Structure 1
Amino acid sequence: MKFLQSNHVETPKWLKIIENSSEESSMTRNRALAIRMSFEKFKVKEISLICNVTIGTIYVWFNKWEQEGFDSLLVAPGQGRRVIIEPHEYDEVFEIVDKNPTQLKSALSEIQQKLGKKISIYTLKGIVRKKKTWRRLRKSLKDKRNEEQFKKVKEEIERLKEEEKNGLIDLWYFDESGFSLVPEVPYAWQDKGAQICLPSSRSKRINVLGFINKNSDLTPFVFESSITSEVVVACFDSFVESITKQTIVIIDNASIHHSELFNSKIGEWEANNLFLLYLPKYSPELNKIEILWKHIKYYWLTFDAYKSFNSLREKLNEVLCNIGRKYRINFS
């Protein structure tokens, strides 16, 4: 691996000044960045990706730096890579990339076929970065749901929020979630050249059933057994004893929430001022408690929680006991 060596203690500082100078051309600034990164032991491949040039170009810059020093950063008029894809062709390139946005290489042949121009993956990345960013995709169920029902229930929830604000009702959200030693994989800041590995193993499952309101008041029920209709009914029977006014519980359409036993209890709960509002299928964003599960799994359960089942149980219990205090969500 080739790394450049600074022959003067001030050299990296001057390169940094050139990088940030608005008076220098973008190519001069880019070359200064590449040289300084080599001083800092960045790999050539990493430098080429950041500077958006080929590895061969990086080596040319390095050789010129060793021969000419700072003079090698200067760009003569007309010098530099010839523009292959013109700006007016960018939209067509973006349309091609959109067909398979996870694999840029698949777009190269179609670009050559349609535009008659052969470009490298590095050139394509440079064009794509003008409009797009590389980030994780999101799962979505929107195409499966009934939009009319979704809109109707969403409007009903907004109306209920106003009634709650006026002190007429209490509004709660109910759901179940499971936790095991197979963690959700979050983004994290990691040292370059290294990777944080999360412990992961098969284990029993800790099931949490919970009621939460806009103030992050949480009533959780924790089980290390399977969730059955009897378990869900027992949770509602316990919760109904704590309500003090007409209470609406927003709940999803899971089959367990429509079981014969569950349905047989609805009249009894309504007689005690607890009413259910069922969400349309595939509408998790309308159930605010989904945000709670996400925060617990991605943010509040630390890496060491997954060392053992006891660690997971203890950390999960600590989080659940401190929702609304140490751990708080703004349900805006």
Structure 2
Amino acid sequence: MKIGRQKHIKQPKEAAKRQSILGIWEPSKDFKYALIKKNFTSEEYLKIMEQEAREAWRHFLATGQPTVIVQDNASIHKSKKIQKHWRLWHRQGLHMFFIAPYSPQQNLIEGEWLHLKYDELRGKSFTEESALEKALVEAIENRFAKKGHSVKRYLL
């Protein structure tokens, strides 16, 4: 680049758009995730949590042990639509625990997202959304398979 000019890399018009990932990770056991081509809404989050509540209920009936999901304070996690379900989920053995605001170091899944970005996807760029999605799925499957986790993808 010439002195005084800002470095700029042109992207093709068909460059891949954003992909959002929502993950539920139980260290040393499993990783569940969903991918969408936009930001997650309360509706999508609710679909996933309803599935988690059904699993928590089965686990609670079999063992008497509750399931606790630790999450950050994202707006979809605490929306009014979601809060309406907390009491029912609690009765089903599913409990929500929120980490302190602005404390990503307490949210262990944040480290996994960093490793996915910087270890599994480093230096790659995508011109097609399908290629980006495929790379994300492969990165998630590979990373957690290496750790001996079962991996499940929620299809929304």
TM-score of the two chains, using structure 1 as the length reference:
0.36
1:273 matched to 2:93? The reply is yes
1:327 Cα offset (Å): 5.7
Partner of 1:292: 112
| Deviation string, structure 1 residues 69-110 (Cα, Å, up to 9, x no partner) | xxxxxxxxxxxxxxxxxxxxxxxxxxxxxxxxxxxxxxxxxx
Q: Please tell me the residue identity of whatever aligns with 1:210.
A: G
Partner of 2:154: none
The unaligned stretches of length 5 or more in structure 1 are 1-197
The question of whether the paired residues in 1 share the 8 Å contact of 2:68 and 2:96 is answered with yes
The question of whether the paired residues in 2 share the 8 Å contact of 1:279 and 1:286 is answered with yes
1:216 Cα offset (Å): 5.2
* SS of 1:325 mapped into structure 2: helix
Structure 1 residues 232 and 258, CA gap change in structure 2 (3 angstroms): same
Cα distance in 2 for partners of 1:220, 1:199 equals 32
Q: Please tell me the residue identity of whatever aligns with 2:68.
A: I
Cα distance in 1 for partners of 2:48, 2:116 equals 21
Structure 1 residues 276 and 200, CA gap change in structure 2 (3 angstroms): farther
Cα distance in 2 for partners of 1:250, 1:324 equals 19
Aligned to 1:306, which of 115, 118, 126?
Answer: 126
1:241 Cα offset (Å): 2.1
Partner of 1:208: 21
| Deviation string, structure 1 residues 3-36 (Cα, Å, up to 9, x no partner) | xxxxxxxxxxxxxxxxxxxxxxxxxxxxxxxxxx
1:259 Cα offset (Å): 1.1
The unaligned stretches of length 5 or more in structure 2 are 1-8, 60-64, 150-156
Bigger strand fraction = 2
Aligned to 2:54, which of 241, 244, 252?
Answer: 241
The question of whether the paired residues in 1 share the 8 Å contact of 2:20 and 2:36 is answered with yes
1:258 matched to 2:78? The reply is yes
Cα distance in 1 for partners of 2:70, 2:11 equals 33
| Deviation string, structure 1 residues 159-203 (Cα, Å, up to 9, x no partner) | xxxxxxxxxxxxxxxxxxxxxxxxxxxxxxxxxxxxxxx996654
Q: Please tell me the residue identity of whatever aligns with 1:225.
A: K
Highest relative contact order (Cα 8 Å, sep 6+), 1 or 2? 2
| Deviation string, structure 1 residues 99-156 (Cα, Å, up to 9, x no partner) | xxxxxxxxxxxxxxxxxxxxxxxxxxxxxxxxxxxxxxxxxxxxxxxxxxxxxxxxxx
The question of whether the paired residues in 2 share the 8 Å contact of 1:216 and 1:323 is answered with no
Structure with higher Rg: it is: 1
Structure 1 residues 281 and 292, CA gap change in structure 2 (3 angstroms): same
1:309 Cα offset (Å): 2.6
Cα distance in 2 for partners of 1:302, 1:226 equals 22
Matched positions, count: 132
Q: How large is the Cα RMSD of the aligned pairs?
A: 2.5
